Structure 1
Amino acid sequence: MTEKTAARALVVGEALVDVVLRPGADPAEHPGGSPANVAIGLGRLGRRVDLLTWLGPDAHGDLVRAHLADSGVHVLDGDRAPDRTSVARAHLDADGAATYEFDLAWDLPARWDEDEDAPAVVHTGSIATVIAPGGEAVARLLADRRATSALTYDPNLRPALMGSPVDTLPVVEHLVGLVDVVKVSDEDLAWLHPGVAPVEIARDWLSRGPALVVVTLGGEGAVAVTAAGDELTVTAPRVEVADTVGAGDSFMAGLIDGLWSAALLGADARTRIAAADRGTIEQILTRCVRIAAITVSRPGANPPTAADLER
């Protein structure tokens, strides 16, 4: 095993099938789910990654498992599973932007076949952190792993599933207070806090505990605030957009991978990230926006491999 794949990541959250509906085109089925996409992004960047998810024993579940395996993602076997695999329908407009509707169930098994070595990082986000009954189980898992692993979180909100901002905000802020790193989109922040500047919200979240909060700005790039007091902005490369599916997830995978390469993960991640110099964080973010740009230049959630980045 190479040095890069020696440690492992644990990603917790939904894996499902995206049915993509484009104007004037036949529906297309693709494996998806925000945490699953992050796991795939990490696997393609050469990381050893386990996914704890909730897949049914059906054709859709087989499709997702095969897709994950192709990118080196190990799906953890649990003591129970749903009757069927969840489905998300992504409606793309003429510009390739996606809106979603869902047919899903979410929970965690009580026990699973995870290796005993502590992961370098535990990541979660999106539907898995909010939808009952699994959302509370995810929060408990994060709290249990704080002493041994870095914790990362991307709210990746789905308003169609999550009720009102008033209902969702306490859940989001509780998780923000548990983790070391948060990545959030400006669209998510606008839904949670209409009319408030993203950096203002990021600074408030930083005060709740994380060492790093990153706000993605779509095609404009990203801005980050750090526990060291820095504010960093990086611009995104200009590309022809195929669609935006999976862009934020590939950015998240790149962020975890970059922090990992800089030796900023592990049990004391919060302290390490807080002590990191500005140039290191800026270099990581610059690579993240490049990864996301490659993803949006391709149809579907198709993040780059390490070899793609070298090219």
Structure 2
Amino acid sequence: MIVVAGEALIDLVVTPEGQRAVPGGSPANVAVTLARLDQPVRLLARLGTDEYGRQVAEHLTDNRVDLEWAVRAEQPTSVAVATLDATGQASYDFRLDGAADWQWTPQELPELAGSPATALHTGSLALALAPGAEVLEGLLAQERRRDGLTISIDFNLRPSIVTDRAAEQTRVRWQVSLAHLVKASDEDLAWLYPDRTVPDVMAEWRELGVSCAVVTRGAEGALLLAPDGSMHQEPARPTTVVDTVGAGDAFTGGLLAALADLDALGDRPAERLAAVTAPQWATVLRQAALVAALTCGRRGADPPRRTEVQALLNTAS
């Protein structure tokens, strides 16, 4: 079972035709992607009891995301206003003050030791916004010391919300040291490290203890730095872009699902990732890119199901 921790909110999607409220949030989108790829997944989230919160919970349950560890919170549900331009690219404005997602307390966290969890994935605003970020960070530190599961982070930075670049550099550096697998976008890194190259940043993350670093580059595909120091590159899958909502989350879900299929997630995580071969890394990247491309070809964060992905991968091979 893969555990995903973080926000589950409402995306208020604005287009020239009007607006619609749909469930979203980067960690929640990753969880849905994993579930649709037939991976057992449990979401560690704080869900509001308002109408938006009920809509989010129904969406997750309908997609077979386990909510046993979800906290039912009195605070309101967070809202992200996603405005789409003519090319389908999304820009975001967030309504987060006093919302449920960021109010974690240590007492609300489960004991992962002895559970069936093989990986813990988190990221995005859940690791950036106080007071909850510090609580989740403590969980990551505890699990890194225990060495009983794979820790994955997708930073998914939001400079419009967390604007202090120097503070973000410090935060990211510390949190990187707690993870075995780190994913970011080239846009994340261009803002965070404007004077550094992507390979240089990936190499630093490896020095900090990350086994596998991944950077997505939009239409230019993705780079993966493997545990042995080799760099792998995957081109973007050709697609007609409807919008980019949830595409990065779909990539992350596809990546984790492929690693789970290889039994590369679990205890002794560094050893498991080191055992993945070069051809297997190519397969992992290919699946992640395909899942992201299929999501870009649909309206909203609507990742594909395993049967569709497998059929296309088999055709390509």
Q: What TM-score results when the alignment is normalised by the length of structure 1?
A: 0.94
Q: For 1:225 and 1:66, locate their aligned partners in 2 and report how far apart those are by CA, in whole Å.
A: 37
Shift of 1:275: 3.2
For structure 1, which segment, 232-241 or 142-151, has the greater mean C-alpha deviation from structure 2 after superposition?
142-151
Give, as a single letter, the amino acid of the residue that structure 1 aligns with 2:64. G
Instruction: Give yes or no for the alignment of 1:75 onto 2:67.
Output: yes
Give, as a single letter, the amino acid of the residue that structure 1 aligns with 2:12. V
Could you give the per-residue CA deviations for residues 158-184 of structure 1, whole angstroms, max 9, x where no partner exists? 111112211211111111110110111
Query: Counterpart in 1 of 2:183?
Result: 183
Query: Counterpart in 1 of 2:13?
Result: 20
Instruction: Give yes or no for the alignment of 1:299 onto 2:299.
Output: yes
SS at match of 1:29: strand
SS at match of 2:47: coil
Instruction: Give yes or no for the alignment of 1:10 onto 2:3.
Output: yes
Query: Counterpart in 1 of 2:198?
Result: 198
Q: For 1:82 and 1:289, locate their aligned partners in 2 and report how far apart those are by CA, in whole Å.
A: 38
Query: Counterpart in 2 of 1:244?
Result: 244
Give, as a single letter, the amino acid of the residue that structure 2 aligns with 1:50. R
Cα–Cα, structure 1 residues 77 and 280, in superposed 2: closer, same or farther, change >3 Å?
closer
Q: Structure 2: give runs of 5+ residues left out of the alignment.
A: 312-317
Could you give the per-residue CA deviations for residues 246-269 of structure 1, whole angstroms, max 9, x where no partner exists? 011011011111111111111111
Q: For 2:140 and 2:218, locate their aligned partners in 1 and report how far apart those are by CA, in whole Å.
A: 28
Q: What TM-score results when the alignment is normalised by the length of structure 2?
A: 0.92
Give, as a single letter, the amino acid of the residue that structure 1 aligns with 2:65. V
Q: For 2:126 and 2:198, locate their aligned partners in 1 and report how far apart those are by CA, in whole Å.
A: 24
Q: Identity over the aligned pairs, expressed in percent? A: 39
Give, as a single letter, the amino acid of the residue that structure 2 aligns with 1:99. S
Cα–Cα, structure 1 residues 65 and 114, in superposed 2: closer, same or farther, change >3 Å?
farther
Query: Counterpart in 1 of 2:273?
Result: 273
Q: For 1:212 and 1:61, locate their aligned partners in 2 and report how far apart those are by CA, in whole Å.
A: 34
Give, as a single letter, the amino acid of the residue that structure 2 aligns with 1:37. N
Q: Structure 1: give runs of 5+ residues left out of the alignment.
A: 1-7
Shift of 1:75: 1.8
Query: Counterpart in 2 of 1:124?
Result: 122
SS at match of 2:93: strand
Give, as a single letter, the amino acid of the residue that structure 2 aligns with 1:171. R
Aligned alpha-carbon RMSD (Å)? 1.5
Query: Counterpart in 1 of 2:104?
Result: 108
SS at match of 1:55: strand
- Residue of 124, 133, 136 corresponding to 1:135: 133
Shift of 1:80: 6.2
- Residue of 80, 103, 112 corresponding to 1:88: 80
Q: For 1:77 and 1:285, locate their aligned partners in 2 and report how far apart those are by CA, in whole Å.
A: 30
Contact 1:76–1:114 (CA under 8 A) maintained in structure 2 = no
Number of residue pairs the alignment of both structures matches? 303
Shift of 1:111: 2.6
Contact 2:42–2:69 (CA under 8 A) maintained in structure 1 = no
Query: Counterpart in 2 of 1:145?
Result: 143
Instruction: Give yes or no for the alignment of 1:46 onto 2:43.
Output: no
Q: For 2:93 and 2:237, locate their aligned partners in 1 and report how far apart those are by CA, in whole Å.
A: 30
Give, as a single letter, the amino acid of the residue that structure 1 aligns with 2:103. D
Cα–Cα, structure 1 residues 27 and 231, in superposed 2: closer, same or farther, change >3 Å?
same
Cα–Cα, structure 1 residues 175 and 126, in superposed 2: closer, same or farther, change >3 Å?
same
Shift of 1:155: 0.2
Shift of 1:65: 0.5
Contact 2:47–2:70 (CA under 8 A) maintained in structure 1 = no
SS at match of 2:87: coil
Shift of 1:18: 0.3
Q: For 2:123 and 2:165, locate their aligned partners in 1 and report how far apart those are by CA, in whole Å.
A: 16
Q: For 1:44 and 1:261, locate their aligned partners in 2 and report how far apart those are by CA, in whole Å.
A: 14
Shift of 1:79: 6.3
Shift of 1:223: 0.6
Q: For 2:109 and 2:210, locate their aligned partners in 1 and report how far apart those are by CA, in whole Å.
A: 28
Query: Counterpart in 2 of 1:4?
Result: none
Q: For 2:198 and 2:228, locate their aligned partners in 1 and report how far apart those are by CA, in whole Å.
A: 19
